[in-house]
Amino acid sequence: MALRFSELDFPRPSKERLSLRFGQVSTLLDQGRRTEALGLFDTIRRDYESWSAMTDLRFSQDTTSATNKAERDYADSLTPYVTAFEVAIKRRLLDDPDQQAVHATLTPHTLELWRTDITTFDSRIADALEEEARLSGEYTALIASARLSIDGRQVNLSGLAPYAESTERNVREQAERVRWAFFADNAQQFDTLFDRLVHVRADMASALGYDAYTSLAYRRMRRVDYGPHEVARFREDVRTHVVPLVQRILERRRTTMGWDCVYSWDEPLIDPHGNPRPIGGHDRLVAQAQVMFDRMGGDLGEFYRQMREGGFLDLRNRDGKAGGGFCTSFPTVGMPFIFANFNGTQHDINVFTHEMGHAYQNWKSRGLPAVDLLWPTMDAAEINSMALEFLTWPHMDLMVAPGEAERFRQMHLIGSLSFLPYGVCVDHFQHEIYARPDMSPAERHELWRDMERRYLPWRDYGGIAHPSAGGRWQAQGHIYRSPFYYIDYALALCCALQFWQRSRTDYKGALHEYVALCERGGSRPFTGLVLDAGLTSPFQSGALADTVREAAHYLGMTPPEPLETV
């Protein structure tokens, strides 16, 4: 019988039950029954992660529900309790005198992840972890509470997107002003939430003996094969090679449209004829996606059919629903779930194919032997998602109106290139923030403007007060909820663009290598997975140079000269 989301029911854990089950693992280890202990440990974690994922998903589906919020708060309160048990067992196995037996049971990468994990938790920070989760939830609820009036309608932030991409310049400007009015009206709350998050995180790092939160954050992200130095070099590579091309693209758009300059509300209109939109609404797009994945071959179509028929998709935008899109999974059943907010723009296609890439990878690697390996670290996971965006290019005729597929492809490529400078801007901002956690809100806003001048030198808000004063970053949820995550998108995009380049000359080979990468799941660290896929590491100097040249030629432009390195 096909698995159905509506029938999933994961038992609500209690502290008493968790203590008993983790205690059974310790007892088995005491008895020398290591294999049984590890099997039970893995089962407990799968059970807990499935329930936790469902709890987070239900809150995201309706942030106004008191029941959902209470359950989310309960889950947040359990997190440090469970982490303490997990770290104790991981530490015990890492300290086991019979390391030969441990290595015979666990992969070297699993053990490396565990060595990292045990340095990120101590019972002294349990309350701080719960507070961090609570504050992150407050940010999510605040964003979801937006009720914006435009064109006689009331929409949420996701619903504002069609107006932000209108071919009418005055409509785009109005959408931009409406959007930032919400942030300006709630500026103090956004500043206060972030200030509290920064200090909670800085205090956690101090309690664990780190000189700054950045070092702890990299370990929380399980980055075992690179650090801030390599990331800084990549940021500079983006500034050197990508920023000049994006500037040239925007200047071409300005002259084509006859604008005096490019304002922030002009940037979302990538195609002068109007950004190509999905061929239809939710139902049509979901149905066309089935044809697309069937066309691509292999088991993509079969997997998507299971997602669709089993109800593992929630793609409609509605009031009270958290913004954005994500993929989550339930490791006890080996099935992922895609959450998004369709709004009638090209983002519906981009977000859907992106999250489908995450979902497909998780499904393909569901048989790996340990829960630690089912997902790669976030940097590698984003390769799976972004590469699928590009690998669906040949089938875009199914997703947009007749004659618009090539326009969509060009728009997608331009959007991807334009994202890279913004992605590294967010990352550099966070590195500076956590190096100086006592900055005032005003200093943080000025820092953001400095970062924009460095990586987004074309950005002009046309006098709109809040973003002009450096408040743009407050709309980026990752900065609040997932510190230091954002660079993962940029690193992965560097790799995904290489899949795009490969697919232009050998589509079947690129798709074959993509499926193989998905099957590897999290069996290797980021740089190892990149190497296995035959890709150039983003940390290799000049890794973006070839991509920029090919992208420029594809867009009918002369490749620009690189900026001088600073």
Rounded Cα–Cα distance for residues 391 and 513 (Å): 11
State the Cα–Cα distance between residues 493 and 277, nearest whole angstrom: 23
Residue 85: what pLDDT?
96
Please report which confidence band the pLDDT of residue 291 belongs to, taking 50, 70 and 90 as the band edges: very high
Tokens (6 digits) for 35: 């294999």
CA 460 → CA 242, 414, 425, distances in Å? Answer: 19, 19, 16
pLDDT, one tens digit per residue, over 463-521 is 999 999 999 999 999 999 999 999 999 999 999 999 999 999 999 999 999 999 999 99
Query: Rounded to whole angstroms, how far apart are CA atoms 326 and 115?
Result: 28
Fill in the DSSP letter of residue 464: -
**Side-chain half-sphere of 492: how many Cα atoms within 13 Å?**
25
Q: Which phi and psi angles does 339 have, rounded to 5°?
A: -120, 130
Q: Where are the alpha helices (DSSP H) in 62-121?
A: 66-94, 99-105, 108-117
- What are 66-113's pLDDT values in tens digits? 999 999 999 999 999 999 999 999 999 999 988 888 888 899 999 999
* DSSP-assigned letters across all residues of 376-421: --HHHHHHHHHHHHHHTGGGGGGTB-TT-HHHHHHHHHHHHHHHHH
Q: Which of 114, 422, 385, 2 is nearest to 239 (CA)?
A: 422
Tell whether the model's pLDDT for residue 1 goes beyond 70: no
Q: Which of 281, 284, 270 is nearest to 164 (CA)?
A: 270
pLDDT(564) > 90: no
Answer whether 0.85 is exceeded by the pTM.
Answer: yes
pLDDT digits (tens, 9 = 90+) for 15-69: 999 999 999 999 999 999 999 999 999 999 999 999 999 999 999 999 999 999 9
Question: Can you give the pLDDT at residue 324?
Answer: 87
Q: For all residues of the chain together, what is the average pLDDT?
A: 96
How far from each other are the two terminal CA atoms of the chain, in whole angstroms? 60
Q: What are phi and psi of 315, to 5 degrees?
A: -115, -10
Token readout for 396 is 């875009």
pLDDT at residue 565, rounded to an integer: 72
